[in-house]
Structure formats: C-alpha cells, structure tokens
A and B are shown apart, each in its own frame.
Chain A
Amino acid sequence: MSVRTEGSSNYEYVTARVRSRRAKLFDADDYRKLVRMGPSEIARFMEETEYETEMNALGARHSGVDLVEYALVRNLAKHFDDLLRWAEGPLYGYVANYLRKFDAWNVKTVIRGIYTDADREDIEDDLIRTGEFSERRLDRLVEATSIEEVVEVLSGTIFGDPLEEAMPDYESEGVLVPLENAVDRAFYAHLLDEVGDPEPDSPTALYREFLHAEIDFRNLRNALRIARSGADIDPGAYFIEGGRLFDAEELRQLARNTDELVARIRESTYGDQLADALDELAGAESLIGFEHAIEAALLEYSRKLSNRYPLSVCPVLAYVLAKEREVENIRAIARGREASLSVEEIEEELVIR
C-alpha cells in the first residue's frame, strides 16, 4: 500500500528541524534531577519545558501522574504529526511507514476498549493521534460499538484484510490474541514496503538494515519472553517475517535453549553491538536488563547512522526513536515515583543515550 506523494524528498528542511528538536530533548542532567522529584514536582518541572502547552491544555481534566502521561503522549503525537506534515516525496513514505506503529497502537486500543466495554472517553484519551490514519477515521473507530464495525472501518487500510482473516479465530476462541497479532503482523509486513531494494551502502540501504535489525530484535525478545515465562506457547506462531537472523523454525528451536541462542547472536552481525547485552543475559535472572540493552543498542546505531548520513532518512528515524525513549523514560520516572520506588530502582529502568 503506497502512501507516496509527488516530488523529491526535502531532506534539508526536515533534518534541520529534526536536529533542532532533538537538541531540545532531556539530557542525562535533566533525568538526574527528575528521578529525585516527587510526582507533583515532575508535573511542575514539565510545565517549564517543551511540554508546557500540553500540560496547560490537559491540566483541567487530569491531575498527577495521569496528567504527566497524557501530556507526554499528546506532545509525542504533535511532534510526529509535524514530521509527516513537513516531509515530501519518498521521505514521507519512509516516515509514514514507521509511524504506522501508532496506527497499530490505536487499533489495538480501540479493540481492547470495546472488548472490555470501556467508556468512549477513556478510549479516546488513550489514543495517540499520529500516524497515517486521518482524524476522521480515528473518530469513526472510537464511535464503533462492536469489533465487526472496527474491522469494517479499517477496510482499505493495511490492517483491513489481516483483521478480517483473524475474525473467525477470534469468534471461535473469544480472546483478543489473534486480532492483536494480525495488527502487529500487518505493521511489520508493510514496514519494508517503501524501502524497496536500494543499492548497497546507500543511506536507504542502511535504513533497511536498521529495520531488519528492529524486526530481528523484536523476534528475539518475543522468543526470550516466551521461553522465560515457561508458558507452553509455540514461539514460531509469533514469528514476524522480514528479519534476517532467524526463520520461524530456527526460532522455535533456539527459544528452548537460551545458551545456544546467545551463541547464535554472538556470531551474527549484531554480535559487536550487543556484546554487553549478551553478557548480561547470560548472567542475569531478569530480561529487563537485556531488553534495555537492546533498546540502547538500537538508539546508538540510529545515532551513528544519522551522523554518517546527514541528508537522509536516518536523522529523522533517530529523532523518532530518541523521542519515544524520552517519553518512556519520563513515564517510568513518574510512575516509579508514584509507587515510591527508590532512585536506584528507577534509574535501572531508564535508557539514557
């Protein structure tokens, strides 16, 4: 499904703006301060930064940590919508493809909301209004009262057909897993659409490599989670196509044996970048450290790409990742402080570039 617009890419304009915005993200110093604040202090701190508009707009309806969280999400949506507004030509295609992540999130939120009979307003609050869907389509999604209706609204998008195929499974089993899987798979299946088969060593080829890496890491994470949880689930059933490290069959076997899996990754192209993470995985009991190390490796890689190819999609991607990380970090801090975790515990949850 192509979203391509006419003309050539305006990399110069978009990267200049993106770099400026990137410079405004919180740095390690800000995080050090934030970790030591209480929830209300965090809210006050945010009112004096980038998030001022959103904090003021939402201040009347929410309070405390909820306010912080909604402001974060709304700010994120604003910035990513700006990216889509600026970008032209093939660049728009790349950015829109990646931001469909939020379309997938929105579809899942609506489906879950309907499944649990949540209020319309609650669902609406939890949407992230960015990505490829228009405001109107989102409104129609929120207004839908049954899952069949949601599927109907989504016909014509990349999620339409996969959801329709998953409907019989959902109806016979009565759980949401088939539907949610269909949504995620649709997103990943179309992630590589616009990129095509670029010449080796061009920025687009590196972008492609990056997306491959992301899919591989996602597969890896899913397999490890299933293996660790000890549940009797077939990891192959959750396999996402498009990665280069494993195929479904291999993943199925490796998930049963963590040592072999670690050895396999060490030999792969990701070995160098993930060396620290792998050591942690081999030693540690929990997956959290490993997952954060993967995130950090992706961030680092995207930053390296954006410095090596200043006029390409790479800086935009690096910004998207860094912004997402910032939102996750602040959310972790706010929630952690609310639950009165210690400073060290919260710092463990952060991924700081």
Chain B
Amino acid sequence: MFEIATALSSVAPVLQNGGWEPEAAQHLATAAAALAVGLAALGAGIAERGIGAAAMGAIAENEDLFGRGLIMTVLPETLVILALVVVFVV
C-alpha cells in the first residue's frame, strides 16, 4: 500500500486538487488520439491482408474483377477514416 502511495505522489505535480493540469491533459489526449488512429490502421491492415490475398486470387482467375477486388480490399480503410475523426474531436 505504502509503495503505491509514494509512486502516486511522484506524479502529484501533474495533479492539482484532483484535476489534470490543462496543458498535460491536452498532451495526453493528443497521444491517446494518435494511439487510436495507429491501432485502427493496424486493424485495417490485418483485415486488408486477407481480403487483398483473396482479391488477387480472384483477379488472377478473372481480370474483370479488378475493380470489385480493389473496392473490397480498401473497405477496411473506413476504419482508419473513422478513427481519424477522433483527432479532430480532441
């Protein structure tokens, strides 16, 4: 218990009267938004891996499917766009 209390007191300068210091809070929010976008991009990338492979397979068999394959492949990209909204909200 006691160790935790000392650890907490070391971040005390950031905290004043139980609230965040405005500047530190802003920095933290920006970092969180960046993390959100990054994770969303990672998720989109993982999703596109499978779809892209399948799309390549389909295109190799029938070239007319190029357009459809491309659209399906970039569909998870909407995830990143939605995550980008967070950047403007904070």
Does B36 sit within 8 A of A, measured CB to CB?
Answer: no
Q: Which of A12-20, A96-104, A130-138, A141-149 contacts its partner?
A: A12-20
Nearest chain B CB to A83's CB is how many angstroms away? Answer: 12
Quick check: A16 and B62 within 8 Å, CB to CB?
no
Give the chain A neighbours of B61 by CB distance below 8 A: 16-17, 20-21
A317 to chain B, nearest CB (A): 17
User: A10 an interface residue at 8 Å Cβ cutoff?
Assistant: yes
B56 at the interface (CB under 8 A from A): yes
Q: Does B50 contact A (CB under 8 A)?
A: yes
**B60 contacts chain A at the CB level, 8 A cutoff:** yes
Q: How big is chain A's contact interface, by range?
A: 10 to 19
Q: How many contacts between A and B, using CB within 8 angstroms?
A: 30
**Chain A residues near B53 (CB-CB < 8 A):** 10, 12-13, 16
Q: How far is the CB of B35 from chain A (nearest CB, A)?
A: 28
Q: Do residues B62 and A20 form an inter-chain contact, with CB atoms below 8 A?
A: yes
* B80 beta carbon closer than 8 Å to chain A: no
Q: Does B51 contact A (CB under 8 A)?
A: yes
In the complex the two chains form, is A15's CB within 8 Å of B54's CB? yes
CB of B58 within 8 Å of the partner chain? yes
Complexed CA–CA distance, A263 and B57 (Å) = 46
User: Per DSSP, are chain B's interface residues mostly helix, strand or loop, or mixed?
Assistant: helix
Are B50 and A12 closer than 8 Å at their CB atoms? Answer: yes
Within 8 A of A (CB), among B51-86: 51, 53-58, 60-62
Interface centre among A10, A14, A16, A311 (most CB of B within 10 A): A16
Q: How many interface residues does chain B have, given as a range?
A: 10 to 19
Nearest-neighbor residue (CB-CB) of A16 within chain B: B57
> Which chain A residues numbered 80 to 129 have a C-beta less than 8 Å away from chain B?
none
- Residue ID in chain A nearest B69 by CB atoms: A16
**A residues 1-41 in Cβ contact with B at 8 Å:** 10, 12-17, 20-21
Distance in angstroms between the alpha carbons of A14 and B61 in the assembled complex: 11
Chain B neighbourhood of A20, CB < 8 A:
57-58, 61-62
How far does the alpha carbon of A17 sit from the alpha carbon of B60 in the complex, in Å? Answer: 8
Smallest beta-carbon distance A224→chain B, Å: 40
Q: Which chain A residues border B54 with CB–CB below 8 Å?
A: 12-13, 15-16
Which residues of B sit under 8 angstroms from A311, Cβ to Cβ? 50
Q: Please, which residues of chain B bring their CB within 8 A of the CB of A10?
A: 53
Expressed in whole angstroms, the Cα–Cα distance for A15 and B51 within the complex equals: 12
Q: How far is the CA of A17 from the CA of B62 in the complex (A)?
A: 9
Could you tell me the distance between the alpha carbons of A174 and B6 in the complex, rounded to whole angstroms? 91
A12–B62 CA distance with the chains assembled, in angstroms: 16
18 of the cross-chain contacts (CB-CB < 8 Å) are A10-B53, A12-B50, A12-B51, A12-B57, A13-B53, A13-B57, A14-B57, A15-B57, A16-B53, A16-B54, A16-B56, A16-B58, A16-B61, A17-B57, A17-B58, A17-B60, A20-B58, A20-B62
